[in-house]
């Protein structure tokens, strides 16, 4: 019973970390496409791309940090 509880908390915890990355991925991809295809020069598009990139990197860096130095 304890193993099932631990695994369910682990899976739900990972879903909560990676789920916000989906809109960040969409913002990043759409921003990159508009910069490359349409030669977009708006500062808001570049800000969106940076925020999307940070949103994509955060879960991976968070998990890496937990692996390298767990509490």
Hey, what are 21's tokens?
């990355």
Q: CA-to-CA distance for 16 and 9, rounded, in angstroms?
A: 10
pLDDT, tens digit, 9 for 90 and up, residues 6-58: 555 555 556 666 777 888 889 999 999 999 999 999 999 999 999 999 988 88
Hey, what are 25's tokens?
């991925």
Instruction: Say whether pTM exceeds 0.85.
Output: no
Question: What is the reported pLDDT for 65?
Answer: 83
């Amino acid at each position: 019973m304890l193993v099932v509880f631990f695994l369910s908390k682990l899976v739900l915890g990972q879903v909560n970390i990676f789920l916000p990355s989906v809109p960040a991925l969409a913002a990043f991809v759409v921003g990159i496409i508009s910069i490359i295809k349409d030669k977009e020069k708006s500062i808001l598009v570049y800000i969106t791309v940076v925020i999307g990139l940070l949103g994509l990197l955060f879960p991976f860096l968070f998990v890496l940090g937990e692996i390298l130095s767990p509490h």
